[in-house]
Amino acid sequence: MPKKVIIIGAVALGPKVACRLRRIDPDAEITVIDRDELISYGGCGIPYYVGGDIADIEGLYSTTSHAVRDIDFFTNCKGIEVLSGVEATEINRKEKKLLVRHLKNGKKDQFSYDKLVIATGATPVRPPFPGADLPGVFIVSNLHHAKAIKDRISKGQVEKAVVIGAGAIGIEMVEAMTDLWGVETTIIEMADQILPQALGKNISRIVENHLKENGVNLMLSERVIQINGDGKGGLQSVETSNGTIPCDLVVMSAGVKPNTKFAVDSGLAVGRSGGILVDRRMKTTDPDIYAGGDCVELRNLVSGENMTMPLGSLANRQGRIIATNINGGSAHFKGTVGTFCIKVFDMGIAKAGLTSKQAEATGYDPVHSIVTQHDRAHFYPSSKLMYINLIADRKTRRVLGIEAAGLKGDAIKARVDAVAPLLKNNIDVDEISELETGYAPPFASAMDIINNAGNTLDNILENRNIPIDVLDFIEEFKKGKTRVLDVRGPKEAKPFIEKYGDQWINIPQAELRSRIKELPRNEPLCLMCDTGPRSYEAQLLLRSNGISDTKNIQGGYGMLMVTDPEFV
């Protein structure tokens, strides 16, 4: 008899399971159900639809050949039955039946299954402060929300908007509203940085300054008290612990929670985050029920802990694995290292693995290097500076994570993608130093920035390079706890000498050996060059001459410039 397979959810993972299974099992009876009528769309593209990069909403649920992925498409092209407007309410695991409710008329129904797949995704969190349910306050989880936001903006009804939460969706929505529509936008974030789950403070500060350069008002370490409005679609303001922000529209981006209530009620095991627990074959605690996508917990292959990772890329890979296993195969999804990338105006940001804070919480002793370098050969006309933060454990030298930012998003993603697959293999810093990458001046330097990040971290771990992060340097400098030795040329150092006087010493690298006696021997010095290598060499030279109270500013002037433009 043909195998009966029911799939709950028709956005990312669900359609992937269905289409893959149909290819390898032409006889299977495949039924996909979903609450919505809009199915099989690229949810990650919503901000780009709102921002105008994608002109028509149909672009988000069309194939590369421009076929619309609707119910007729799945019926006629794929041989898959799709039932929209249907909600799963209960699983009778003993009898292998799924109980559902038709949303249009409330009618209850049930379907027998041999295998069941849960692909119910996650729902944005709507914090319980007053006014969170007012008209004009939106979450972003489906195409209906996207269309409602874009319609309101395109009709000229929005001059000022507030985004609550500085995660990926929040930042992407800020860009969408600011860049095309010229909406005055404000981000409110409880944490003291943006993207707190994805980046450490050094790289996040670069992105924060880039947002400000593009006209975004950023409010960190701030709590929302309430949203004010008249209840008829006329929002007035968002009230925070430090003031009131006038606005016409609010977007909630305070995280997501897995849609798993009916699964829990049916006795399936969930983890601490509320996500469904699955094994490497994507099976739940019931051997005839699979789950994947945003509603499951996955193993972090660096920390060893479970986590949710709501990304369409993971959902599609898991969907293929689930279909293979339903068909009798033995495919495995081992976990994730949390690879992530985002575009913020004209800057690209990417990361994989753990931040320093996450590594410390896991029990590691993290050490990091920050490297500033051109993404192409420095002499190539289109080269731009990029910034990489590489993190390792002090004792074992195991590489734990990488973060990168720069103006060429393809270059940023390529570097992080080169390291991400290696993190699960417990690679050490030496392997990053020796990593083989492609080289040609239009694409990279002969010594790639990835290799230099490994080299720098090796020097730090061996106590040859004694570093200080730009953020820590600025704090010490402003308190008068350190002076600077700038080994760049007089022209580059002149503005700093004029601004900071005797606190800023300039001796070019070529003159340092002959003028070393001019330096103070009993007070701390922070060393700076353009990007870090010359100041590191200066540190070695000073140490060999008995001047040891020095710290090398990580990333040099290039990092200082993007971290604190006002200091520069």
Please list the active-site residues: 44
Task: Name the E strands within 329-449.
Answer: 340-344, 347-353, 366-374, 385-393, 399-406
For 280, list phi and psi in degrees, rounded to 5: -70, -20
Could you write out the three-class secondary structure of 201-238?
Answer: HHHHHHHHHHHHHCCCEEECCCCEEEEEECCCCCEEEE
Could you give the 3-state DSSP secondary structure of residue 349? strand
Q: What is the dihedral of CA 13, 14, 17, 22, to 10 degrees?
A: -150
Q: Which two tokens stand for residue 342?
A: 């985002």
Residue among 9, 4, 6, 5 at smallest CA distance from 260: 9
Q: Phi, psi (5° rounding) for residue 551?
A: -135, 140
Closest residue by Cα to residue 533 from 509, 550, 515? 509
SS3 433: helix
Distance between CA atoms of residues 336 and 560, nearest Å: 33
169, 146 contact by CB (below 8 A): no
Q: Which residue has the tokens 């040329």?
A: 489
CA distance 105 to 113: 24
Contacts of 289 (CB under 8 A, 6+ apart): 91, 93, 115, 116, 117, 118, 268, 283
What does the alpha-carbon distance between residue 237 and residue 251 come to, in Å, rounded to a whole number? Answer: 13
Strand-pairing partners, residue 235, are 229
- Strand-pairing partners, residue 486, are 506, 528
Q: What is the DSSP letter of 30?
A: E
The tokens 């753990």 sit on which residue? Answer: 354
Query: Among candidates 227, 190, 198, 225, which has minimal Cα distance to 311?
Result: 198
Distance CA 341, CA 370 (A): 18
Which of 75, 20, 10, 8 minimizes the C-alpha distance to 43?
10
Considering only the C-alpha atoms of the chain, give the largest distance between any 2 of them, rounded to a whole number of Å.
Answer: 90
- Given the DSSP bridges, would you call strands 97-102 and 108-112 parallel, antiparallel or unpaired? antiparallel
- The DSSP code for 142 is S
